[in-house]
Amino acid sequence: MENAALAIRGLSKRFGGKTAVHHLDMEVPRGSFYGFVGPNGAGKTTTLSMATGLLRPDEGQVEVAGVDVWAHPTEAKRRMGVLADGVRLFDKLTGEQLVTYAGLLRGMERDLVAERTADLLRVLGLEDSAGKLVQDYSAGMTKKIALASAMVHAPELLVLDEPFEAVDPVSARTIRGLLDSYVASGGTVILSSHVMDLVQRMCSHVGIIAAGQLLASGTVEEVRGDSDLETRFVELVGLEAGEQELSWLRL
């Protein structure tokens, strides 16, 4: 546990009669690039929301670099940057204002925030849209400005829910480069994704979740074994809907 950037123990969440996450234990080693994968509705967003202090668990504990997220939220949040899925941004701000606001909220000096905001906007190709309201951004631009807001305080851990969704291939490559050098310099990333190929190429570690439970976790090599990650994923999760056909759709 000492070497865990993120340690989750016995985490559970129910919504009415539906168990979204069930006694989940998970450890993301420091310095790892951890892919969190699972079918739709598996509990990825619910887990990451509880891990980042956005959604209160029914049971269980979460620690970021040894700091309990729910007992010491301010201290824990200082150590992480979060790109949440489906959470509304302050979209009446311009992109530049939003990143600046995120930095100031973390207690950073105004000059340093300005410097880093300019760097992030430039690297992410948002310089020309810096003065535009976030509500007028495209889906991919919104993802990128949210990512910039998550990174501005140079946290130890980045928790990214679907960071590549809606992002064009050129921007995706830029983001991959940013994240790679962040991990190479000692940072830890956990990202959720549906794209197995991307996880296999980018990540050092992977966790597979289905029906609120972790089915496998370890290095990508350990989890995929002799096959590729997608095959292993389908073996663990099952094909279910994929095996069925629509007879009326045959032309």
Ligand X SMILES: Nc1ncnc2c1ncn2[C@@H]1O[C@H](COP(=O)(O)OP(=O)(O)OP(=O)(O)O)[C@@H](O)[C@H]1O
SS3 state at 180:
helix
Give the integer Cα–Cα distance in Å for 61 and 58.
10
**Distance of closest approach, residue 247 Cβ to ligand X, in angstroms:** 27
58 counts as binding ligand X under rule CB under 6 A: no
Give the integer Cα–Cα distance in Å for 28 and 6.
5
All residues at 6 or more sequence positions from 31 whose CB lies less than 8 Å from its CB, including other chains:
5, 183, 186, 187, 188
Please select the residue that binds ligand X; options are 3, 15, 75, 131, rule is CB under 6 A.
Answer: 15
Site string for ligand X, 18-47 (x = CB under 6 A): x-x-----------------x-xxxxxxx-
Counting residues that bind ligand X (by CB under 6 A) gives 11
CA of 196: how far to CAs of 83, 125, 161, in Å?
A: 20, 26, 15
**CA-angle at 245, arms to 244 and 251, nearest 5°:** 170
**Distance of closest approach, residue 37 Cβ to ligand X, in angstroms:** 9
Report how far apart the first and last C-alpha atoms of the chain are (Å, whole number).
Answer: 56
90: number of Cβ within 10 Å: 12
**Distance of closest approach, residue 114 Cβ to ligand X, in angstroms:** 35
**Distance of closest approach, residue 232 Cβ to ligand X, in angstroms:** 18
**Distance of closest approach, residue 36 Cβ to ligand X, in angstroms:** 9
**Distance of closest approach, residue 72 Cβ to ligand X, in angstroms:** 25
Which one, of 87, 102, 187, 210, lies nearest residue 143 by Cα? 87
Among the residue ranges 15-23, 126-134, 180-188, 224-232, the one whose residues contact ligand X (CB under 6 A): 15-23
Looking at the Cβ atoms of 9 and 194, the one nearer to ligand X is 194
Looking at the Cβ atoms of 126 and 223, the one nearer to ligand X is 223
95 counts as binding ligand X under rule CB under 6 A: no
Give the integer Cα–Cα distance in Å for 189 and 179.
8
Q: Which residues bind ligand X (CB under 6 A)?
A: 15, 18, 20, 38, 40-46
